[in-house]
A and B are shown apart, each in its own frame.
Chain A
Amino acid sequence: MREKLNSIDHFEALQDRLVSEWDRDVPTIVIPAGTCGRAAGADELIHATQQEITSRKLDGRIRLRITGCHGLCEMEPCVLIEPEGTIYPKIDPTEMARIVEAVARGEVLEDLLSQDPETGARIQKQKDLPFLKKQVRTILGRNEMLDPMRIEDYVRSGGYSAMAKVLARGAPAAVVEDVKASGLRGRGGAGFPTGRKWELLAKQPSDGGKFLVCNADEGDPGAYMDRSVLEGNPHSIVEGMIIGAYGTGATEGVIYVRNEYPLAVEHADIALQQARELGLLGEHILGTDFCFDISLVRGAGAFVCGEETALIRSIEGKIGEPRQRPPFPVEKGIDNKPTAINNVETWANIPIIIAQGAQQFAEIGTANNSGTKVFSLVGKIRNTGLVEVPMGTTIREIVHDIGGGPAGNARIKAVQTGGPSGGCIPAEMFDLPIDYDSLVEAGSIMGSGGMIVMDEDTCMVDVARYFMNFLKDESCGKCFTCRKGTQRMYEILDDIAKGSGTLEQLDLLEELAHVVKDTAMCGLGQTAPNPVLSTLRYFRDEYVEHIRKRRCPAGVCKELITYSINENCVGCQACVRACPVGAVKGREKEQHSIDAEKCIKCGLCRNVCKFEAVDVT
């Protein structure tokens, strides 16, 4: 149990003590163990490291820090050595003995370092990785500094100072002014100015209480920025919300987090408990008159609950069906009390704005789009991971300079942003500087920051069908046009993907898309046609090819492709063994063949072939 801090002085004394007791020069092995890290084997690395440190009697001489996700997904599981900043990517647990030994001696293991893909030169320091060079990691950069389950780590690295500063200053209205001056726009997708939202909340009568909500219902498939912040630095969210409550007069807070993120739920829960223990949350925060507490609500799996009125209903224990606005949640939200909802990344920006000053924050990015934005760069890209860049960075810089270009041999043809509400932006437009407004103009949206790279092996009709399948399932059903419109659009897309579509259907699809956009009540329905409209706008050829030639140029749509074996085949029998239905025939050392009648087009033969002998046409 931690000792409760009763004053701001008390807090500052604790922070000073934590900083002064911290010896920066003690060699530290940092292992990121967020959801991706663990999936890649971080737990085994941690276990091996602990064993090595103990068996070599190095306890106290070498520190081990287990952190959340650093966003270097492609390199997981990786190990970072402080204070030098040496990074070892893709480490096998059996290597930990050597690494611990090298750390103890202050040496670097050249053979385990990553290599520059162009020159082959070894890269020792994390900051020199091509993936990180163009990034400005104001938010993500803090994940590696702390163990998310220890509030002391956060406090030592400057955490809760912004909150203490605001409490010491004692002028709530100034907080709202700071956020307004920073130009911060909501990172959840729509980009509404956060300061203005707070100003509206602050003006509401406070007799019955007011709510602040952190929307951590990161529902866009392909986006995981919020997960990594909540897992890796939950206190930054808690601190942001406390500052927000002080500025707006909110009395209760809710973190609404997806249940599909068990680690984020766990870390947020621990963070709240620890903040309460220290007296940073609850009654009379740091001995002042200011009271505010936060509860954790787990979502139950409904995409529509990212919409704020649906989210409110879900918090109230009802089905997550959106309602008409106005009244806006800021007037009538949870239990009809004034409620302001901001996304995880928005909250994470608040302590930064207060700590460095609104002016400095506003200097990053572009005129109407200040600050940085975190993107999850995934799909057909070499360096997958989380990317944090100033607003206004071009797609090309993100995809090619940071992402390192395509993952395989196929050329990149588009990026998809904004999740199911967003759209696909073609490679010809990669010089587009990314901000809220430019993406809308291009027919997509910022969304929460998912960026899925697609190459020539990705079929755009299939992508549109994929999103529409998702949206028809997730439509709450309240508005007829959304409920039936998404269903019907899916059916048309399915027809086209199966080769039974017609050009008339294509016109109908487009018309339907516009009707749904114009008539649905909530954001889900209004944006649901985006995946269709944007692919039709930029990749109409692919639709036409599916319809006219009954052909899928990317080789994805099963009904339109056939597998065959070419003369590269050496007759190794690998595909014969792999085929689950016995469709591949052929003797050893003779060219094999595929029985088209039997073939279920699962692609296993192509996966196992080492000689590029399996064609898809």
Chain B
Amino acid sequence: MEERLTSILSSYKANRDELIPILQQVQEEFGYLPQQAMLDIAQFIGVPESQVYAVATFYAQFRFTPIGRTHVTVCRGTACHVRGAPRILEEVERQLGIKEGETTPDLEYSLETVACIGCCGLSPCIVVNAKVEAKMTPRKVAAIFAKGDETS
């Protein structure tokens, strides 16, 4: 981990305003923010560890546990909500056997919700590993994850 982190930090000047971009890049690299990485970032920028933790916990994007190989995000935007997002979320939870914010013990799936992905014209939507699946129904949810099982 140290090597990968050092390589990321080497492209920054250690300015205070780089904190969020650094956290974002670290999360892109590791899938989450490992505790050691946050401690190292604090030292790199020269701010107390508490400030790094404060920023990381303030913003919805950052997470502190690893994500699954298949990362599922259910959109909870208003258009999605009125077109049945709560039922889509329930169905995803049922299919994967985990609740929002959790990861399956085998690290295969993780599930999150997002405020809005801006794909409101085709609501309700979910995102499976960066691919947006539009006009979801509980049946389509079942179909998507059944397909996933066959290929894995």
Contacts of B132 in A (CB 8 A): 35-36, 38-39
- The answer to whether A416 and B78 have CB atoms under 8 Å apart is yes
- The answer to whether B79 and A378 have CB atoms under 8 Å apart is yes
- The answer to whether A378 and B117 have CB atoms under 8 Å apart is no
Give A445-489 interface residues, CB cut-off 8 Å to B: 450, 452, 454, 458, 463, 466-467, 470, 474, 476
Give A20-64 interface residues, CB cut-off 8 Å to B: 35-36, 38-40
- How far, in Å, is A460 (CB) from chain B's closest CB? 11
* Among candidates A74, A314, A578, residue contacting B121 with C-beta atoms closer than 8 Å: A74
- The answer to whether A319 and B54 have CB atoms under 8 Å apart is yes
Contacts of A318 in B (CB 8 A): 16, 19, 55
Contacts of B77 in A (CB 8 A): 221-222
- The answer to whether B134 and A36 have CB atoms under 8 Å apart is yes
Q: Is A320 located at the chain interface by the 8 A CB criterion?
A: yes
Q: Is A339 located at the chain interface by the 8 A CB criterion?
A: no
Surface stretch bound by A, among B1-9, B20-28, B98-106, B143-151? B20-28
Q: A222-B78, A301-B60, A580-B94 are in contact. Are A260 and B20 (CB under 8 A)?
A: no
- The answer to whether B81 and A602 have CB atoms under 8 Å apart is no
Contacts of A262 in B (CB 8 A): 130
Complex: A367 Cα to B77 Cα, angstroms: 34
Complex: A203 Cα to B18 Cα, angstroms: 30
Q: Is A444 located at the chain interface by the 8 A CB criterion?
A: no
Q: A36-B122, A314-B20, A384-B122 are in contact. Are A260 and B117 (CB under 8 A)?
A: yes
* Among candidates A224, A317, A467, A602, residue contacting B18 with C-beta atoms closer than 8 Å: A317
Contact flags (1/0) for B114-137 with A, using CB distance below 8 Å? 111111111101000011111001
- The answer to whether A379 and B117 have CB atoms under 8 Å apart is no
Closest residue to A450 on the B side, CB-wise?
B78
Complex: A84 Cα to B98 Cα, angstroms: 51
- The answer to whether A35 and B117 have CB atoms under 8 Å apart is yes
Closest residue to B84 on the A side, CB-wise?
A603
Q: Is B138 located at the chain interface by the 8 A CB criterion?
A: yes
- How far, in Å, is B61 (CB) from chain A's closest CB? 4
- The answer to whether B133 and A39 have CB atoms under 8 Å apart is yes
- The answer to whether B24 and A223 have CB atoms under 8 Å apart is no
- The answer to whether A301 and B78 have CB atoms under 8 Å apart is no
- The answer to whether B91 and A224 have CB atoms under 8 Å apart is no
Q: A39-B134, A317-B55 are in contact. Are A470 and B115 (CB under 8 A)?
A: yes
- How far, in Å, is B66 (CB) from chain A's closest CB? 19
Q: Is A137 located at the chain interface by the 8 A CB criterion?
A: no
- The answer to whether A384 and B24 have CB atoms under 8 Å apart is no
- The answer to whether B120 and A224 have CB atoms under 8 Å apart is yes
Complex: A303 Cα to B115 Cα, angstroms: 9
Q: Is A341 located at the chain interface by the 8 A CB criterion?
A: no
- The answer to whether B24 and A603 have CB atoms under 8 Å apart is no
Q: Is B90 located at the chain interface by the 8 A CB criterion?
A: yes
- How far, in Å, is B152 (CB) from chain A's closest CB? 22
Complex: A245 Cα to B77 Cα, angstroms: 34
Q: Is A518 located at the chain interface by the 8 A CB criterion?
A: no
Contacts of A379 in B (CB 8 A): 78-79, 82-83, 123
Complex: A320 Cα to B83 Cα, angstroms: 31
Contacts of A73 in B (CB 8 A): 120-122
- The answer to whether B54 and A602 have CB atoms under 8 Å apart is no
Contacts of A470 in B (CB 8 A): 76, 115
Report the count of interface residues on B (CB-CB < 8 A): 48
- The answer to whether B16 and A316 have CB atoms under 8 Å apart is yes
Q: Is B30 located at the chain interface by the 8 A CB criterion?
A: no
Contacts of A454 in B (CB 8 A): 82
- The answer to whether A385 and B121 have CB atoms under 8 Å apart is yes
Complex: A222 Cα to B81 Cα, angstroms: 9
- The answer to whether A376 and B120 have CB atoms under 8 Å apart is yes
Complex: A470 Cα to B121 Cα, angstroms: 20
Complex: A220 Cα to B120 Cα, angstroms: 11
- The answer to whether B87 and A378 have CB atoms under 8 Å apart is no
- The answer to whether A301 and B115 have CB atoms under 8 Å apart is yes
- The answer to whether B125 and A302 have CB atoms under 8 Å apart is no
Q: Is A607 located at the chain interface by the 8 A CB criterion?
A: yes
Complex: A580 Cα to B16 Cα, angstroms: 51
Contacts of A301 in B (CB 8 A): 59-61, 114-115
- The answer to whether A302 and B58 have CB atoms under 8 Å apart is yes
Contacts of B116 in A (CB 8 A): 219-224, 260
- The answer to whether A603 and B87 have CB atoms under 8 Å apart is yes
Q: Is A188 located at the chain interface by the 8 A CB criterion?
A: no
Q: A222-B116, A608-B139 are in contact. Are A300 and B121 (CB under 8 A)?
A: no
Closest residue to B115 on the A side, CB-wise?
A221
Q: Is B44 located at the chain interface by the 8 A CB criterion?
A: no
* Among candidates A261, A300, A385, residue contacting B62 with C-beta atoms closer than 8 Å: A300
Contacts of A380 in B (CB 8 A): 82-83
Contacts of A223 in B (CB 8 A): 116, 118, 120
Complex: A73 Cα to B134 Cα, angstroms: 11
Contacts of B58 in A (CB 8 A): 302, 319-320, 476
- The answer to whether B118 and A227 have CB atoms under 8 Å apart is yes
Q: Is A259 located at the chain interface by the 8 A CB criterion?
A: yes
- The answer to whether B20 and A300 have CB atoms under 8 Å apart is yes
- How far, in Å, is B32 (CB) from chain A's closest CB? 14
Complex: A379 Cα to B118 Cα, angstroms: 13
Q: Is A419 located at the chain interface by the 8 A CB criterion?
A: yes
- The answer to whether B83 and A602 have CB atoms under 8 Å apart is no
- The answer to whether B122 and A463 have CB atoms under 8 Å apart is no
Contacts of B117 in A (CB 8 A): 35, 260-261
Interface centre among A38, A259, A318, A578 (most CB of B within 10 A): A318
* Among candidates B19, B54, B120, B138, residue contacting A222 with C-beta atoms closer than 8 Å: B120
- The answer to whether B114 and A260 have CB atoms under 8 Å apart is yes
- The answer to whether B90 and A602 have CB atoms under 8 Å apart is yes
- The answer to whether A224 and B119 have CB atoms under 8 Å apart is yes
- The answer to whether A40 and B17 have CB atoms under 8 Å apart is no
Contacts of A320 in B (CB 8 A): 58-59
Q: Given A76-B122, A379-B79, A380-B82, list of 14 further CB < 8 A pairs?
A: A39-B131, A73-B120, A301-B59, A301-B61, A302-B60, A317-B20, A319-B59, A378-B78, A379-B78, A379-B123, A450-B78, A602-B138, A603-B87, A608-B139
In the complex, the 3 A-B pairs of residues with the closest C-beta atoms, listed nearest first: A73-B121, A301-B60, A224-B118
Interchain Cβ contacts under 8 Å between A and B, 15 examples? A39-B119, A39-B134, A74-B121, A221-B77, A297-B20, A314-B20, A316-B16, A317-B55, A384-B79, A385-B121, A450-B78, A450-B120, A452-B79, A604-B138, A604-B139
